[in-house]
Amino acid sequence: MSSTTISTKNAAQAAPSARRNSASVAVPEDNDLIRTAAKVTRDLNTPKAAIYWADFLASAAVGYGSLFGAIVSSSLVLALVFGLISVLALYRAGSFIHELTHIRRNTLPGFHFAWNALFGVPMMIPSFMYEGIHSIHHRTKKYGTVEDPEYLPLALMKPWSVPLFVIVAALAPIALLVRYAILTPLSAVIPPLRKLVVERYSGLIINPEFRRKAPEGDFKRRWLICEIGSSIWAIALLTMVATEIIPMRAFLIFLGVMSGSVILNQIRTLVAHLWENDGHEMSVTGQYLDSVNVPPPSTLPALWAPVGLRYHALHHLLPGVPYHSLGEAHRRLAAEFPAGSSFYRADHDSLWILIKGLVRGSAGRN
């Protein structure tokens, strides 16, 4: 799952500059890794509907229930505890947007609709903001290039790019309210604005140079339904706050929980890759090694990289394996390869080590 774009002028200028001044080291293809991965995980490609439904519904229920607890609690300590639980649970529920882009609709009937109805529209992050975007990130000739909406060479950019990448995420709830309460209705009657909204403000991207194409066919219909629903909800929410139907305190807590979830996802995105590619096409093995696994015995990744995101490198190698089977896939492959092989080079120990390495690397190159 990607996150809020760095859309500032400085960040937009930094990306092409980094591409000009650095060169990627070509990584030869490890055909044994690719063949073995496909062979030993062939029986793991079927999503288990019961797991998807139970996991998502439980995460949403805990998230919204804890949000309500934070709003009604008279104790600051309890409000903070409920708020933290809500951030983590809603972050997990939202992370299923990544799975939506990889599973066919007929494989899990009703799941796309339920996710949008229970999370996407209420949180103003409908699935069209990721569908059609994330698939580009997985294309062999697009990954890590200027055409990849989910890639920035952060390790090659200025050191301030790393904290900026996280700080900008805190403003996401406000940006989403503006997007759906103001820009959506205005763009319906102003064609040039509509073009801008579709190209620049309709995707969970991090590459400020990326421009999205207008939707077509059935996807356009589903896009419009979700966008209209999100717009109605955003306008209704602001109206209820303005008329004091919803107290300002409750509204601010809602925004705070949203912001916390987006920041957590932005931090997770920060370490999903090593971000060392300068814009050149990469081999499948190169993409795998530029991505990150944080497997057990680490336990905290279950919170900050849920729904299989702790196996992000493995996911790039095996994008068809559902999230609940990635742990088993990793165990099987670990049994197939000796220490020091390409497979193990994508494994890392913790979030903090990855962040320190990224910050140290960007500072060292600049």
The yes-or-no verdict on residue 25 having pLDDT over 90 is: no
**Average pLDDT, integer, range 61-88:** 97
Reported confidence tier of residue 8, pLDDT bands at 50, 70, 90: very low
Terminus-to-terminus CA distance in the chain, angstroms? Answer: 28
**pLDDT at position 13:** 38
Judge whether 19 lies within some domain: yes
Q: What is the mean pLDDT of the chain?
A: 91
If you average pLDDT over residues 210-221, what whole number do you get?
95
Q: Which domain holds residue 42?
A: 9-365
Q: Is residue 1 part of a domain?
A: no
pLDDT in tens, 307-346: 999 999 999 999 999 999 999 999 999 999 998 899 999 9
Average pLDDT, integer, range 238-247: 97
Which of 170-184, 185-199, 346-360 bottoms out in mean pLDDT, i.e. has the lowest? 346-360
Amino acid at 50: A
Q: Residue 365 has what pLDDT?
A: 62
- pLDDT, residue 364, reads 61
Question: Is the pLDDT at 195 greater than 60, yes or no?
Answer: yes
* 297 within domain boundaries: yes
What is the structure's pLDDT at 156?
Answer: 86
pLDDT tops 50 at residue 10: no
Rounded Cα distance between 138 and 282, Å, is 11
Residue 18: pLDDT over 80? no
Among 147, 127, 126, 146, smallest CA distance to 136 is for 147
Domain membership of residue 3 (yes or no) is no
pLDDT band at 363 (very low <50, low <70, confident <90, very high): low
Q: What is the pLDDT of residue 26?
A: 79
Does 255 reside within a domain? yes
Check pLDDT > 80 for residue 17. no
Place 55 in a pLDDT band, splitting at 50, 70 and 90. very high
How would DSSP label each residue in 55-120?
HHHHHHHHHHHHHHHHHH-S-HHHHHHHHHHHHHHHHHHHTHHHHHTTS-TTTSTTHHHHHIIIII
State the DSSP string of 115-154: HIIIIITTTT--GGGTTTTHHHHT-TTTTTSTT-TT---G
Q: Does the pLDDT value for residue 11 go beyond 60? A: no
What is the average pLDDT across 1-9?
A: 43
Per-residue confidence (pLDDT) for residue 352, from 0 to 100: 87
For 214, the token pair is 């207008």
- In sequence order, the β-bridge partners of residue 347 are 293
Residue 365: CB atoms within 10 A of its CB come to: 16
pTM for the whole structure: 0.91
How many independent structural domains does the chain possess? 1
C-alpha angle 6/11/15, rounded to 5°? Answer: 110
Q: What's the confidence (pLDDT) of residue 6? A: 32
Among 14-18, 29-33, 130-134, 220-224, name the one with the lowest average pLDDT.
Answer: 14-18
Residue 37 inside a domain? The answer is: yes
